[in-house]
Chain A
């Protein structure tokens, strides 16, 4: 019954609709990978050209914030999967609990990131005339640091808003979460945001410290 409510034009069957949603999200994720790929490529090339300056700059990032945030995002991916599994089984309260946990973990990440940004600004790690390090190429690293973490934070914000929206819709009732492709698709996006961070973490926080 709830399955019929989930079926929308132009589909004739729910299976096809779920397949489409997942396929569409996978294709979008491919697009996202190339989006971030451009930044990873630039960073890799500059590391090749200026190894010392980049390493020197990379030691200035705060590894404690970075590590805690990595842990938060990894856990949030687990809760996201659990929310999806609970939805398959039709356990409404479990779905709500896990979605709330996911959004909360994401929010914690953003708050911590905000504190980290404040410290970075305080330490003159924003590229410009009074930048902390004197090697010019060190500023390149922080150019990428700010834009990569910034773009990641924007993605995470979108993901948190999406999770919260579905939380509210399911909580109010009437949203056919069992048959809908919404949660698996949302999960795919959440995991992408997570995986990008898994690549950012060693690049920005660990690279200079080996």
Chain B
């Protein structure tokens, strides 16, 4: 890691864009700084006390016009920068649908990651190069933050809600992973490594790992164990929605609005079932807050997601 101590090359597509914006802003800042410094030094030397420089009546231009001029110029410059950087941000807001989905659970003081294949790692994450990666993250205790400086990527991991982010690594190598949000005693030891491999190496690595059950299969077991299937199985007598094919669909709610059944919605429906009730169903589901752990939630989500794909 880090061949040079003077520069850290970006290792993701998004990171290269961030660097472009960074250098643009750096250029603008350098110009402004130089202008201010040149003016300060010139004036300070030229108009030092007792110098022979011209004084006397001030040019008329030196009043309102100059003031209005630089106010307008600054405002336009800043608006331009705002427009430039924000449009870049918005283009990349939504992840591509086929992104590799990695689940991250953070706790004091480690990152636990899980591949779609079910392979689990602690403070490490192996990724294939040139593949969009989507992180689905939750925290078991306090606020953490997932920062990979080489990817120019950072997202807070909050207790009690799912946060997501995505990036596309485009260089192989090993990169730092840091927890960026202060999280207690061993905050500065909550670090890890992101290992980006060629696609072939990644496939080989995955094959070489002890095969854990994959997330969806674990979720399927939990779906029965936690009693979800008692109501949500197609054969159930209780009037509860069938979850097959649910994921990713737009569903109407009892209050007339429409939501997309994404991770956030499903998670909230498990923890706070009465908040957004699907139209046509009675609000009878109990809350599972405190009953299922963050890791179990991750598995249930993966299961519901997997049966969503099966029946499009």
Q: CB–CB under 8 A between A and B in the complex?
A: yes
Residues in A with CB closer than 8 Å to B290 are 136
Segment touching B, from A48-56, A95-103, A162-170, A182-190: A48-56
CB-CB contacts of A22-48 with B at 8 A, as 1s and 0s?
Answer: 000000000000000000000000000
CB-CB contacts of B245-279 with A at 8 A, as 1s and 0s?
Answer: 00000000000000000000000000010110000
B287 within 8 A of A: yes
Residues in B with CB closer than 8 Å to A136 are 287, 289-290
A135 within 8 A of B: yes
Q: Are A135 and B275 in contact (CB under 8 A)?
A: no
Q: Are A51 and B275 in contact (CB under 8 A)?
A: yes
Residue of A nearest to B268 (CB): A49
Residues in A with CB closer than 8 Å to B283 are 52
The B contact surface, by secondary structure, is loop
A181 within 8 A of B: no
Residues in B with CB closer than 8 Å to A137 are 272
Residues in B with CB closer than 8 Å to A50 are 272, 275
Residues in B with CB closer than 8 Å to A49 are 272, 275
* Minimum C-beta distance from A48 to chain B (A): 10
Provide the bound-state CA to CA distance between A101 and B289, in Å. 50
Provide the bound-state CA to CA distance between A91 and B274, in Å. 61
Provide the bound-state CA to CA distance between A20 and B289, in Å. 54
Provide the bound-state CA to CA distance between A195 and B275, in Å. 32
Provide the bound-state CA to CA distance between A52 and B285, in Å. 13
Provide the bound-state CA to CA distance between A137 and B272, in Å. 9
Provide the bound-state CA to CA distance between A51 and B275, in Å. 7
Residues in A with CB closer than 8 Å to B289 are 136
* Minimum C-beta distance from A174 to chain B (A): 58
Q: Are B287 and A52 in contact (CB under 8 A)?
A: no
Provide the bound-state CA to CA distance between A136 and B290, in Å. 9
CB-CB contacts of A122-136 with B at 8 A, as 1s and 0s?
Answer: 000000000000011
Residues in A with CB closer than 8 Å to B272 are 49-50, 137
Provide the bound-state CA to CA distance between A165 and B287, in Å. 53
Residues in A with CB closer than 8 Å to B275 are 49-52
Residues in B with CB closer than 8 Å to A51 are 275
Provide the bound-state CA to CA distance between A135 and B289, in Å. 9
* Minimum C-beta distance from B174 to chain A (A): 41
B interface with A by C-beta (< 8 Å): 272, 274-275, 283, 287, 289-290
Given contacts A50-B272, A52-B274, A136-B290, 6 further A-B contacts (CB under 8 A): A49-B272, A51-B275, A52-B283, A136-B287, A136-B289, A137-B272
Top 7 A-B residue pairs of the complex, sorted by shortest distance between their CB atoms: A52-B274, A136-B289, A50-B272, A135-B287, A136-B290, A50-B275, A136-B287
Can you report 14 A-B residue pairs in the complex whose CB atoms are below 8 A from each other? A49-B272, A49-B275, A50-B272, A50-B275, A51-B275, A52-B274, A52-B275, A52-B283, A53-B274, A135-B287, A136-B287, A136-B289, A136-B290, A137-B272
